[in-house]
């Protein structure tokens, strides 16, 4: 039996809804957090800190049915969407990607890498269609994009799909090591990585300026650091490489094929009893904490509020880099904050080995969006 589920499971640009508890989270200044909640496969903790005038990070956790079929796959979906150039793409992904995943999981009657890839590519096409529709009213939409990191836990498997430079790290208990070992599961698509530059050069052999070093930072066409994303229509469709798009985004020459892509790197991992937890984070977290530092914090401290503690640890490092106190950094308003750190999103997902393979049909449906209640627009 097919249930009606074509609309996004949550309406709005950052609110949350769910059954089985208050899923709205709490707000403390520029931080939103949900200290501890329960998903189909264990517990979770979420937190976000705003640095930009407009919050560009979006995130969600969906737990329960992953398709519209009564007997279809169940599990947990985590999405971290790090926007750039504005919040429009990350908001769009937050409201669209999961419903597209459910649609394709229904059609295929299973969860798979192909289902996830189709969800990414369809979401990208839908956003590019929106850019085309609003081209003359809002041409700046063509220069807005979002990194997209997704994790799906289903039937004892973890699917990780990534387009951009957000990251997910697994904490695994190893007998040989005391404590928990950090294992990075996602591949990052940032031009500062030599492998990404090599990939771009092989895809565009005729373009000697496909990657350029500007101010000690490698950028695609000298403009953007990521080589894969949702949105960024001006680097995917030559029709947007013209006025009324701002001149700083226009390339001097046209192009016949997309310069960057929405096609995600996908990794599939069979979960074991050694796998303790997953840390999903936008790149703002990993600028200040190493994989092992983050894993050590999660392993050594209580679950309740752990995502918030990870962000605070990152902010303490950010403050130290600028030779200031964390207490002083906390007083800096959004906008100005961006000079000290980026928007940061963290989702920590704990893995209960006893729930990985059992039926999820009787568990409550959970749907939570990170950031509800944070200031929606700059103060005037």
Give the mean pLDDT of 322-336: 80
Given a cut of 70, is residue 16 above it in pLDDT? no
User: Residue 42 corresponds to which tokens in the numbers above?
Assistant: 């264990």
- Round to whole Å and give the CA distance between 336 and 134: 30
Residue 15 pLDDT:
37
When divided into structural domains, the chain yields a total of 1
Residue 366 to residues 9, 41, 43: CA-CA distances in angstroms?
10, 12, 12
Residue 284 lies in a domain: yes
pLDDT at 124: 98
Residue 1 has pLDDT above 50, yes or no: no
Does residue 51 fall inside a structural domain? yes
Of residues 64, 30, 63, 60, the one with CA closest to residue 48: 30
Residue 119 CA to residue 44 CA, distance in Å, equals 24
The pLDDT > 70 percentage for the chain reads: 88
The first and second tokens of residue 170, run together, are 């697994």
Q: What is the pLDDT of residue 8?
A: 35
Angle between helices 88-108 and 113-133 (to 10 degrees): 140
pLDDT band at residue 10 using 50, 70 and 90 as cut-offs: very low
- Angstrom distances, CA of residue 211 to CA of 85, 217, 254, 359: 19, 10, 16, 48
Which range of 13-27, 60-74, 111-125, 165-179 scores highest in mean pLDDT? It is: 111-125
| Of the listed ranges 15-19, 68-72, 134-138, the one predicted with least confidence | 15-19
Tell whether the model's pLDDT for residue 378 goes beyond 60.
no
What CATH code is carried by the domain that includes residue 143? 3.60.40.10
Task: Answer whether residue 379 is part of any domain.
Answer: no
Print the domain residue range for 57: 26-190+226-370
Beta bridge partners of 181: 172
What are the distances in angstroms from CA 222 to CA 210, 259, 319, 371? Answer: 8, 12, 29, 32
Is 3 part of any domain? no
Q: Please give the pLDDT value at position 136.
A: 94
Token pair listed for 176: 């040989």
pLDDT at 235 over 80: yes
Strands (E), 157-210: 157-163, 167-173, 180-184
Q: CA torsion angle for 11, 15, 21, 27 (degrees, to 10)?
A: 180
- pLDDT tens per residue across span 70-114: 888 999 999 999 999 999 999 999 999 999 999 999 999 999 999
CA distance 241 to 266: 30
106, 68 contact by CB (below 8 A): yes
Query: What integer pLDDT is reported at residue 227 of this predicted model?
Result: 97
Residue 17 banded pLDDT, cuts 50, 70, 90 = very low
pLDDT at 79: 98
Cβ within 8 Å of residue 275, ≥6 positions away = 158, 170, 171, 172, 269, 351, 353
Q: In whole angstroms, give the CA distance from residue 71 to residue 251.
A: 50
Averaged over 10-15, what is the pLDDT?
A: 35
Question: 94 phi and psi, to 5 degrees?
Answer: -65, -30
DSSP one-letter code for 314: H
Q: Which residue has the higher pLDDT, 374 or 314?
A: 314
Q: Which of 195-199, 227-231, 365-369 has the lowest mean pLDDT?
A: 365-369
Q: In the numeric block, which tokens belong to residue 273?
A: 């009893």
Examine residue 316 and state whether it is found in any structural domain, yes or no: yes
Residues 6 or more apart from 120 whose CB is under 8 A from it? 97, 148, 150, 161, 163, 230, 262, 263, 264
Residue 380 lies in a domain: no
In a domain? residue 196: no
At a CB cut-off of 8 Å and minimum separation 6, what does 322 contact? Answer: 329, 340
Rounded mean pLDDT, 163-183: 91
Which residue would you say has higher pLDDT here, 21 or 315? 315
Q: What are the beta bridge partners of residue 277? A: 171, 350
Looking at residues 201-226, what average pLDDT do you find? 94
195 lies in some domain: no
Q: Which residues contact 301 (CB under 8 A, 6 or more apart)?
A: 309
pTM of the model: 0.90
């Amino acid at each position: 039996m097919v249930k009606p589920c074509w609309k996004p499971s949550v309406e709005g640009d950052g609110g949350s809804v769910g059954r089985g508890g208050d899923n709205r989270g709490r707000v403390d200044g520029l931080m939103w957090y949900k200290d501890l909640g329960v998903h189909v496969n264990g517990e979770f903790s979420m937190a976000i800190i705003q640095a930009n005038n407009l919050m560009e990070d979006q995130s969600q956790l969906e737990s329960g049915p992953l398709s519209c079929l009564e007997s279809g796959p169940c599990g947990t979906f985590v999405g971290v969407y790090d926007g750039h150039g504005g919040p429009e793409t990350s908001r769009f992904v937050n409201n669209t990607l999961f419903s597209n995943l459910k649609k394709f999981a229904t059609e295929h009657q299973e969860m798979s890498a192909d289902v996830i890839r189709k969800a990414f590519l369809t979401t990208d096409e839908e956003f590019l269609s929106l850019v085309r529709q609003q081209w003359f009213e809002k041409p700046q939409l063509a220069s807005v994009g979002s990194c997209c990191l997704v994790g799906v836990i289903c039937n004892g498997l973890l699917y990780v799909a990534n387009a951009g430079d957000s990251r997910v790290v697994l904490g695994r208990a190893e007998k040989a090591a005391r404590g928990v070992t950090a294992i990075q599961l996602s591949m990052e698509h940032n031009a500062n990585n030599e492998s990404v530059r090599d990939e771009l050069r092989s895809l565009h052999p005729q373009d000697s300026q496909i990657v350029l070093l500007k101010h000690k930072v490698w950028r695609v066409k000298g403009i953007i650091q990521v080589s894969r994303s949702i949105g960024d229509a001006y680097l995917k469709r030559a029709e947007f490489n013209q006025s009324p798009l701002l001149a700083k985004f226009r390339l001097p020459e046209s192009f016949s094929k997309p310069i960057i892509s929405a096609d995600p790197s996908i990794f599939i991992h069979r979960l074991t009893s050694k796998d303790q937890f997953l840390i999903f984070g936008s790149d703002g977290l990993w600028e200040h904490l190493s994989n092992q530092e983050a894993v050590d914090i999660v392993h050594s401290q209580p679950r309740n509020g752990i995502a918030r503690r990870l962000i605070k640890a990152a902010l303490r490092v950010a403050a130290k880099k600028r030779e200031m106190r964390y207490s002083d950094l906390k007083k800096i308003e959004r906008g100005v904050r961006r000079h000290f750190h980026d928007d940061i999103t963290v989702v920590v997902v704990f893995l209960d080995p006893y729930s990985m393979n059992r039926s999820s049909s009787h568990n409550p449906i959970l749907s939570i969006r990170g950031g509800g209640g944070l200031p929606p627009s700059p103060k005037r």
